[in-house]
Amino acid sequence: MLYASCFMFHAFFLHFRQKAIRLPPMLVIRLSRTGKINEAAYRIVVAEKASAVKSKCIDSIGFYVPSRNPKQLKCDKEKFADWVRKGARPSNTLARLLKKDGYEGLEKFIVSYTKKTKAKPEGESAKATVQTAVTPAT
């Protein structure tokens, strides 16, 4: 009896999961690597966040070639603004590149990587300097 009730619950749960409301996919604007070995080139693509980087993309809106001198970055501003309005978020790297190129309003997409050090109390730092000054050099 216990086995049958567990089986019925499991079947009901699977059926319920299939009919559950699915959220729309989260879109991201990111770089997709193309090019030869040691000659990297990147496409600026709009894709689902959960999909692999080299998988199918929804739209290609530009390119970035860092191996050329000077580095080339071309992005269709109208398409970029349209996708951001629709809810797509640019990746951290792409937001930094576009900000350098002169795009406005990308500060909210840039994440800071630097670790912030905790402020030491004044007494501890003073003790450390006094100890280093008192010890004789050998």
Lowest mean pLDDT among 69-73, 78-82, 88-92, 107-111: 107-111
Fold of 27-109: S16 Ribosomal Protein; Chain: A; (3.30.1320)
Q: Looking at the predicted structure, is the pLDDT value of residue 5 above 60?
A: no
Can you give the pLDDT at residue 11?
Answer: 53
Token pair in block for residue 94: 């792409």
- Residue 131 phi/psi, 5-degree rounding, is -65, -40
Q: Where are the alpha helices (DSSP H) in the chain?
A: 2-19, 77-86, 92-101, 122-134
Average pLDDT over residues 32-55: 87
- Residue 43 phi/psi, 5-degree rounding, is -100, 145
Can you give the pLDDT at residue 113?
Answer: 74
Q: Looking at the predicted structure, is the pLDDT value of residue 13 above 70?
A: no
Can you give the pLDDT at residue 78?
Answer: 92
- In this predicted model, what pLDDT tens digit does every residue of 90-116 receive, in sequence order? 999 899 999 988 888 888 888 877 776
Domain ranges in the chain?
27-109
Model's pTM, two decimal places? 0.64
